[in-house]
């Protein structure tokens, strides 16, 4: 079963803040103990901020990729062949 980020945070809070044993949470919610330990460490280190989603990876257009490659290889800006 997959759990949401909010549920994982709630499980970590149960253990860290309310001292509910890890194995009890794992058994009750059918949640892997190793994952719960990871979530608890994340919560201890970063608090709730550790469970926020980061920004998505940036996507680049074909032209942006070609420009970057040309600048690295040729040392100068890329000029598309169709723009002249």
In a domain, 71, yes or no: no
pLDDT digits (tens, 9 = 90+) for 17-32: 999 999 999 999 999 9
What domain range includes position 22?
Answer: 5-51
pLDDT digits (tens, 9 = 90+) for 41-67: 999 999 999 888 766 677 889 999 998
The pLDDT value given to residue 59: 86
In a domain, 34, yes or no: yes
**Between residues 75 and 43, the one the model is more confident about:** 43
**Between residues 74 and 60, the one the model is more confident about:** 60
In a domain, 43, yes or no: yes
Measured CA to CA, the distance from residue 30 to residue 33 in angstroms comes to: 9
* Listed residue (36, 45, 46, 42) closest to 15, CA to CA: 36
Q: Which residue has the tokens 């980061």?
A: 54
In a domain, 12, yes or no: yes
In a domain, 57, yes or no: no
- Token duo for residue 43: 């919560």
Q: Biggest alpha carbon distance in the chain?
A: 69
Q: Is the pLDDT score of 36 beyond 50?
A: yes
Read off the pTM.
0.62
Total structural domains within the chain = 1
* Listed residue (38, 34, 82, 1) closest to 12, CA to CA: 38
In a domain, 11, yes or no: yes
Q: In the 8-state DSSP scheme, what is residue 57?
A: P
């Amino acid at each position: 079963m997959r759990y949401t980020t909010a549920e994982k945070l709630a499980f970590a809070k149960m253990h860290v803040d309310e001292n509910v044993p890890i194995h009890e949470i794992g058994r009750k919610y059918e949640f892997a103990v190793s994952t719960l330990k990871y979530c608890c460490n994340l919560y201890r280190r970063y608090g709730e901020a550790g469970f926020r989603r980061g920004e998505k990876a940036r996507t680049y257009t074909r032209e942006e990729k070609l420009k970057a490659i040309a600048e690295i290889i040729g040392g100068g800006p890329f000029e598309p062949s169709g723009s002249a």
